[in-house]
Amino acid sequence: EVQLQASGGGSVQAGGSLRLSCAAPAFGFDDVAIGWFRQAPWKEREGLCWRTNDANTVCAASLKGRFTISSDNAKNTVYLQMNSLIPEDTAVYYCAAALAGDYDDYTDWTEYNYWGQGTQVTVSS
């Protein structure tokens, strides 16, 4: 059974927008935190936005409001809306799930046990 599947990546010019989707059919959103992360070549994995199991949402301050996270519980899907994209946003984007009770710091990627396959985002100048 597919647990997490990220989609929606692609190529876009700087200043453009993309919306990524994370389908999580195996999870009830009350039971997991969902996080979006990315990793560019030769860089560390970076946390972007998170939805906790009690429905709090937050994005990293470094994104300066360009990204937002939302969810559709009926579709078991979490979205990452990315606006004002810049070339530095180029990376493979992942969604991940951490079971409630299993994580202390939802921003820490090492606390996530379930990962989607990643979707490539390329931003050209």
Query: With helix as H, strand as E and coil as C, how does the chain read?
Result: CCCCEEECCEEEECCCCEEEEEECCCCCCCCEEEEEEEECCCCCCEEEEEECCCCCEEECHHHCCCEEEEEEHHHCEEEEEECCCCHHHCEEEEEEEEECCCCCCCCCHHHCCEECCCEEEEEEC
Region 44-67 average pLDDT: 97
Q: Look at residue 12 in the predicted model and tell me its pLDDT.
A: 98
pLDDT at 2: 67
Average pLDDT over residues 68-93: 97
pLDDT mean over 32-38: 97
| 83 has pLDDT over 70 | yes
pLDDT of residue 101: 87
Q: What is the mean pLDDT of residues 53-73?
A: 96
